[in-house]
Amino acid sequence: MLKRLYGEQTSTCFVFSMIGLIFLIVFSPNLPYLFVDGLWLDDPFFYYFETEGTFRNLSEWLSSGGACILDYYRNLSSEEHQILAFNSQIKLAKDLNLPLVIHSRQAEEQVMQILKNAMPVRAVIHCFSGDERFLKECLDLGFYVSFTCNITYKKAQGLRDMVKLIPLEKLMLETDAPYLSPEGFRGKRNEPMQIKLLAEAISLIRGTSVEEIADKTTKNAKEFFKLE
């Protein structure tokens, strides 16, 4: 997306549901890349008992395992069920040699404990919301860290401080659309095109050019998801 915004075409298709993945495989089987993320599990048992086998059968179209979710803020499922699905997805990703997309919200200690026990794994922390200690632990394990448009919020100085600390070679950007619209657009549906605004915000925070942010984060994403 960033490269398209700044003049270079890409051919990556982002898929956000199992139904969407199957639809694209049936109707657009020759797309170069399919990326699965955001498979939100209102009940992780559905994943554990129903979809793991489907993931394995569709593995040739997958670019990542995830999102692997521990969310103790929304608590849409019990911690026990979330941990069961989380561990199962990690094992599946390792079996298929796929990187992990990690969703952690108010669950950093548990997430880190599980990931350390599962090493070696390749992972990106999606929509980073942790503190400096969690950031350091992630970087020490070689993980990438991804930020969203919520860094533009007036009360998000803590996140902006984290943006300054992360090495550029470990930085990724995302919009988390349709959620987390940037400041000035809050209350409206977020769109992938807002990644440009996010890149501009990151460049201001880090004191570098938006072109450098676009180039490096695009390169990071391609390397992580093996899109080249």
Give the least confident one: 9-23, 122-136, 178-192, 214-228: 9-23
Number of C-alpha atoms within 13 angstroms, CB side, residue 16?
6
Q: How confident is the model at residue 108 (pLDDT cuts 50, 70, 90)?
A: very high
Token code pair at residue 153: 């919020």
d(CA 117, CA 97): 17
> 203 is written with which tokens?
């460049």
Mean pLDDT of 203-228: 93
Assess whether pLDDT exceeds 60 at residue 202: yes
pTM: 0.81
Per-residue pLDDT at 205 exceeds 70: yes
pLDDT band at 68 (very low <50, low <70, confident <90, very high): confident
Q: Which residue has the higher pLDDT, 187 or 27?
A: 187
Higher pLDDT, 179 or 38: 179
pLDDT for the residue numbered 177: 86
Contacts of 77 (CB under 8 A, 6+ apart): 41, 42, 43, 44, 45
For residues 46 and 25, the answer to whether their CB atoms sit within 8 Å is: no
- Superfamily (CATH H level) for 2-225: Metal-dependent hydrolases (3.20.20.140)
Cα dist from 13 to 1, 25, 37, 48, 120, whole Å: 10, 11, 11, 25, 28
Q: How confident is the model at residue 165 (pLDDT cuts 50, 70, 90)?
A: very high
More confident residue, 150 or 14: 150
